[in-house]
Amino acid sequence: MMQDASVGFAEVPWRAVIRVGLIGAAVAIFLCLVGIVPVFHARPLIKDVISLGQTAIVLALLWTGLMAARTSEVRGRLTVLPGALAGSIAGAGLTALVILGELINVRAAFLNASPALYEILTFGNGLAGSWIAIVIGAVLGAAGSVGAKLPIASRRPLTTFVLTLLLAGLFAGILRTAMLSTPLAGLGRLLFAPLGLTIVGAIVTVVLFVGGGELLFYTRVRDRVKAMAPAQQRLVTWPLLAMAAIAVLVLPQALGPFVAQVVALVALYVLMGLGLNITLGLAGLLDLGFVAFFAVGAYTVGLLTSTAEFGLADWPFWAAIPFAVLFAMVFGAILGLPILGIRGDYLAIATLGFGEIIRILAGSDVLKPWLGGPRGILNIPKPIDVEPTHFLAGPAQIYYIAIACAVLIAFVAWRLRGSRIGRAWLSIREDEDVAEALGVNLVQTKILAYVLGAGFAGLGGGIFSSLVGSIFSSSIQLFVSINVVAIVVVGGMGSIPGAVLGAIFLIGVPELFREFSEYRFLFYGAALILMMLYRPEGLMPTRFAAREVHLESSELGADTVVAAPTESS
């Protein structure tokens, strides 16, 4: 046994381990300086135990240990020591940061290198406590390396454990508010603090979720359901679907006005995500100018319905919205016709240019007499306003309208995919030249996808303007386009549940945590890169897309390199 260990000791690639440790240190220092640690420290995950900021560092150190264990895999032995070493190197990075901060004024450049940050890193002990990070790093690194060695059966509940704790901690405040108005108020207070879980809550959540999840896993409920006869399966799935539908319907009522506003926004982005899903997911046209048609829709509804200065017609919302869609489609056709001959990545830039043109024009003095410039159009009425009772006033109605539209779009997209035109889109996405050779009219097929996407963007814009009640040129931002693209990509191109999931993660979660909204786009960027690196087919890909992506990167990948000569000569 001893002998084995010493052989293993020599075989460990210590250089690689040290490299992993240094990368871990860089990540940890990055998390500190970019502000994630100090800003998220204000929010407890478990009250009085650990904050979100600390969690970020803990996760970074665990990851370091895990990676160290993976790089130093020597016949399945001796991974704790490398893990601990890498972890302590990463921790030493933090120690170095503290010492450096004591010696020179790092804050002159990096705003987050503040005394508050050093206090978090040293647990309030100042320079004397700077060594603590190394010890914690070693312990967590070792823990991470153990995690890497665990058999699958025990690794899975651990991941669930971490995820559950994170989610429960994040949503504790919202759950608490929701429970306080019900008979469950006492339970709510017991489990959740205003921010983060209580200790009791943490234990209960973990036991409930991990235990319940394991129970489901070990009793193989899923397999049993799958093994049932179709008729019996329906008995299980239909009630579940019905429950989900009811949950979707009562959601804004149950969770209070703030959350209702957020879910309305999420529903709106689901709608737009589904719209772009046709352009990007089916036809493969990367449209970064989605906001242009969003703007057309929003301003059309604004102009036609507003009762304030720039309003033209005082129409009700329902009369205006078809025109919003129509104008957006006309715009889509006019803009799309000339540019759709352009190849994929050039198209992205050209559409980006369109988005910017529309944004600048909307805010410029040229169109100010009609669109109000930065002052915008005010007093856009809500779609449903029943005079005496104000039934369904507020964002809840937008939520329902957006959901209804989203269902409609999902249906259209689903029916289109199997149709002749849908298959033409898919073929264009695969290979334009081959599609053309097979008799697909490229420009016309593309324009259909583009115009449909534009119409849905216009619909989204119209609904948005009545959700907010006004439309300013500052609402027309590149971010709208990027949001929608990110939703589609992260969710999975062409996938309908993917768009829903993407909107919840990318719009809903950041909206709920307003205090971290500055970091939203940092996470977006990271999510887009990570998605492309590890899961280019998205979180919930269609079966088709998943197969295709893996095919292309594994087998066809080699061919594309060889094919390059003909392409560039």
Partner 1 sequence: MYARVIERIMDGAIAGVLWGFRIGVVLLVVVGSALTIGSGRHSAETWLALVVSGVVVGSIYALIALGYTMVYGILRLINFAHGEIFMAGTFGGYFVATLLAGIGFLNLNPLTSIISVVVMLAGAMVVSVTLALLVERIAYRPLRNAPRLVPLISAIGASFFLQYMFRGFFGPGIYAYPTVSILDAQVPLGLEGFRMKWIDVLVIVSALVMMAGLFFFTQRTRAGTAIRAVSEDKATAALMGIDVNRAIVMTFAIGAAMAGAAGVLYGLIFRQVYFFTGFVPGIKAFTAAVLGGIGNIPGAMLGGIFLGQVEGVGPTLFLSGLGVPSPNQLRDVIAFTMLVLVLIFRPSGILGERVAHRA
- Binding to partner 1 (CB under 8 A) within 279-298 occurs at 284, 286, 288
Instruction: Determine if 102 is a binding residue for partner 1 (CB under 8 A).
Output: no
Q: Among 489, 496, 500, 501, indicate the residue that binds partner 1 (CB under 8 A).
A: 489
Instruction: Determine if 374 is a binding residue for partner 1 (CB under 8 A).
Output: no
| Shortest spacing between CB 463 and partner 1, in angstroms | 26
Instruction: Determine if 1 is a binding residue for partner 1 (CB under 8 A).
Output: no
Contacts of 66 (CB under 8 A, 6+ apart): 83, 144, 145, 147, 148
Closest CA to 328 of 179, 165, 452: 452
Instruction: Determine if 387 is a binding residue for partner 1 (CB under 8 A).
Output: no
Residue with Cβ nearer partner 1 (377 or 482): 482
In the structure encoding, which two tokens stand for residue 183, read together?
């008979």
Residue with Cβ nearer partner 1 (9 or 521): 521
Instruction: Determine if 464 is a binding residue for partner 1 (CB under 8 A).
Output: no
Backbone phi and psi for residue 379, each to the nearest 5 degrees, phi listed first: 55, 50
- Residue-level length of the chain: 569
Which 322-351 positions form the footprint of partner 1 (CB under 8 A)?
A: 334, 337-339, 341-346, 348-350
Q: Among 58, 96, 132, 361, indicate the residue that binds partner 1 (CB under 8 A).
A: 361
Residue with Cβ nearer partner 1 (32 or 142): 32
Query: Interacting stretch for partner 1, rule CB under 8 A, among 115-123, 124-132, 142-150, 520-528?
Result: 520-528
Which 427-446 positions form the footprint of partner 1 (CB under 8 A)?
A: 431-433, 441, 443-444
Instruction: Determine if 528 is a binding residue for partner 1 (CB under 8 A).
Output: yes
- Dist CA 397 CA 402 (whole Å): 8
Backbone phi and psi for residue 50, each to the nearest 5 degrees, phi listed first: -145, 140
Instruction: Determine if 214 is a binding residue for partner 1 (CB under 8 A).
Output: no
| Shortest spacing between CB 127 and partner 1, in angstroms | 23
Residue with Cβ nearer partner 1 (118 or 399): 118
| Chain position carrying tokens 């206090």 | 119
- Dist CA 160 CA 534 (whole Å): 20
In the structure encoding, which two tokens stand for residue 221, read together?
């409920």
| DSSP reduced 3-state for 46 | strand
Q: Please, is 365 exposed, middle or buried when counting C-beta atoms within 10 Å of its C-beta (0-12, 13-18, 19+)? A: exposed
DSSP states along 126-155: GGGGTTHHHHHHHHHHHHHHHHHHS-HHHH
Number of residues that bind partner 1 (CB under 8 A): 75
Contacts of 272 (CB under 8 A, 6+ apart): 290, 294, 456, 457, 460, 484, 487
Which 230-289 positions form the footprint of partner 1 (CB under 8 A)?
A: 284, 286, 288
Instruction: Determine if 419 is a binding residue for partner 1 (CB under 8 A).
Output: no
Q: Are the C-beta atoms of residues 263 and 277 closer than 8 Å to each other?
A: no
Q: Among 110, 131, 217, 315, indicate the residue that binds partner 1 (CB under 8 A).
A: 110
Residue with Cβ nearer partner 1 (322 or 341): 341
Q: Is 518 left (phi over 0), alpha (psi -120 to 50) or beta?
A: alpha
Backbone phi and psi for residue 527, each to the nearest 5 degrees, phi listed first: -65, -40
Query: Interacting stretch for partner 1, rule CB under 8 A, among 46-54, 132-140, 215-223, 481-489?
Result: 481-489
Instruction: Determine if 565 is a binding residue for partner 1 (CB under 8 A).
Output: yes
Closest CA to 317 of 328, 308, 307, 305: 305
Residue with Cβ nearer partner 1 (97 or 320): 97
| Shortest spacing between CB 129 and partner 1, in angstroms | 25
Instruction: Determine if 360 is a binding residue for partner 1 (CB under 8 A).
Output: yes
Which 33-62 positions form the footprint of partner 1 (CB under 8 A)?
A: 33-36
Residue with Cβ nearer partner 1 (98 or 143): 98
Q: Among 352, 402, 410, 471, indicate the residue that binds partner 1 (CB under 8 A).
A: 352
| Shortest spacing between CB 155 and partner 1, in angstroms | 25
| Shortest spacing between CB 162 and partner 1, in angstroms | 24
| Shortest spacing between CB 455 and partner 1, in angstroms | 18
Q: Please, is 20 exposed, middle or buried when counting C-beta atoms within 10 Å of its C-beta (0-12, 13-18, 19+)? A: buried
| Shortest spacing between CB 295 and partner 1, in angstroms | 14
Which 147-206 positions form the footprint of partner 1 (CB under 8 A)?
A: none
Residue with Cβ nearer partner 1 (212 or 344): 344
DSSP states along 334-382: HHHHHHTTS-HHHHHHHHHHHHHHHHHHHHSSSSHHHH-GGG-B--PPP
Instruction: Determine if 562 is a binding residue for partner 1 (CB under 8 A).
Output: yes
Q: Are the C-beta atoms of residues 41 and 54 closer than 8 Å to each other?
A: yes
65 DSSP assignment:
H
Instruction: Determine if 564 is a binding residue for partner 1 (CB under 8 A).
Output: yes
The radius of gyration of the chain's CA atoms, rounded to the nearest angstrom, is 27
Q: Among 73, 119, 214, 356, indicate the residue that binds partner 1 (CB under 8 A).
A: 356
Q: Are the C-beta atoms of residues 258 and 325 closer than 8 Å to each other?
A: no
Instruction: Determine if 509 is a binding residue for partner 1 (CB under 8 A).
Output: no
Q: Among 419, 522, 544, 547, indicate the residue that binds partner 1 (CB under 8 A).
A: 522
Instruction: Determine if 425 is a binding residue for partner 1 (CB under 8 A).
Output: no
Distances (CA, A) of 428 to 56, 120, 284, 294, 557: 43, 54, 7, 25, 19
Query: Interacting stretch for partner 1, rule CB under 8 A, among 64-72, 121-129, 498-506, 528-536?
Result: 528-536
DSSP states along 227-284: HS-HHHHHHHHHHHHHHHHHHHHHHHHHTHHHHHHHHHHHHHHHHHHHHHIIIIIIT-
Q: Among 203, 240, 254, 526, indicate the residue that binds partner 1 (CB under 8 A).
A: 526
Residue with Cβ nearer partner 1 (168 or 340): 340
Report which residue type is found at 161: F
Instruction: Determine if 482 is a binding residue for partner 1 (CB under 8 A).
Output: yes
Q: Among 2, 104, 365, 387, indicate the residue that binds partner 1 (CB under 8 A).
A: 365
